[in-house]
Structure 1
Amino acid sequence: MAPIPTPPAEPQDTLDAYVGLDAAGAERRARERGWSTVRSLPPGAIITMEYRVGRLNFEVSDGTVTRCWKG
């Protein structure tokens, strides 16, 4: 039987630290810290809910990150 794959580790990061940053600066910081995918979304955007290891989501209003979550 094949071994169960181990998912890659996610960056150890404080997500609240992104709130209040401008979107471009937040994305740059996230990529520097090892997030493989970063997406910026407008408030209330309809998105899929599948969890993606290594993905960081930003809710951006008026160019500023207002919310941040993994997956």
Structure 2
Amino acid sequence: MAPIPTPPAEPQDSPDRYVGLAAEAAERQARERGWSTVRSLPPGAIITMEYLAGRLNFEVEKGLVTRSWKG
């Protein structure tokens, strides 16, 4: 039987630190801090509820991050 894969490590970083930043700057900082996937979404976007370790989600309105969460 194949071994169970180890999920990627998640940065020790608070999603709250990105709220209020310009979307491009927030994405750049998130990648520099080790997030493997950064996803920008419009307000109210329909998304799946699956949790993906190493992913940081941004809700972006008028070019600014208004909400940020892991997974």
TM-score by length of 1: 0.91
* Per-residue Cα deviation, 1:20-57 (whole angstroms, up to 9, x for no partner): 00000000000000000001000000001111011000
- Alignment partners' CA distance in 1, 2:22 and 2:6: 34
- Alignment partners' CA distance in 2, 1:43 and 1:4: 36
Equivalent pairs counted in the alignment come to 71
Give the gaps of 5 or more residues in structure 1. none
Q: Which residue of 2 aligns with 1:30?
A: 30
1:9 aligned onto 2:9: yes
Q: Which residue of 1 aligns with 2:46?
A: 46
Shift of 1:7: 2.1
- Alignment partners' CA distance in 2, 1:11 and 1:53: 10
1:19 aligned onto 2:8: no
- Alignment partners' CA distance in 2, 1:61 and 1:50: 23
Give the gaps of 5 or more residues in structure 2. none
The sequence identity of aligned pairs, in percent, is 82
